Amino acid sequence: MEIKVQDNGRFVHFNAESFFFFCIVLATSGIDYDVKIWMPTKEEAIFDVDKANEVMRRNEIMLEETRDTITVPASFMLRMLASLNNIRAGKIHTFQPQKPD
């Protein structure tokens, strides 16, 4: 399960979750290889329904806006741009079929 939330202009991704019956703990990780452990610090539960509804509404809008978007790795784009630059500079010759003799 993946959950994507935008909080204060930055995206937060949750790629996996696990549930514990004896305490409330959330472990998150991202592209930085760090695992963060989250636990509530207040004695009483605080849940802002209005804020949660607003986050869900914004997520639905972002999903709709990006439904036709394809994400490719940055390394692929860098290699593609370098190849195109080399072709433009004449360093790489494009394939041209040989005519039979």
Confidence check: pLDDT of 2 > 60: no
| Distance between CA atoms of residues 36 and 17, nearest Å | 12
Tens digit of each residue's pLDDT (9 = 90 or more) over 77-91: 999 999 888 888 877
CB 30 within 8 A of CB 36: no
User: Is residue 52 domain-shared with residue 39, that is, in the same domain?
Assistant: no
Tell me the whole-structure pTM to 2 decimals.
Answer: 0.38
Tens digit of each residue's pLDDT (9 = 90 or more) over 6-31: 566 566 666 666 666 677 777 777 77
CB 28 within 8 A of CB 39: no
Tens digit of each residue's pLDDT (9 = 90 or more) over 29-74: 777 778 888 888 887 777 788 988 898 899 889 888 888 888 888 8
Q: Rounded to whole angstroms, what are the CA distances from 75 to 31, 36, 71, 79, 88? A: 14, 27, 12, 6, 20
Structural domain boundaries enclosing 23: 1-43
φ and ψ at residue 46, rounded to 5 degrees: -125, 120
User: Is residue 56 domain-shared with residue 85, that is, in the same domain?
Assistant: yes
Q: Is residue 18 part of a domain?
A: yes
If one counts the domains in the chain, the total is 2
User: Is residue 37 domain-shared with residue 75, that is, in the same domain?
Assistant: no
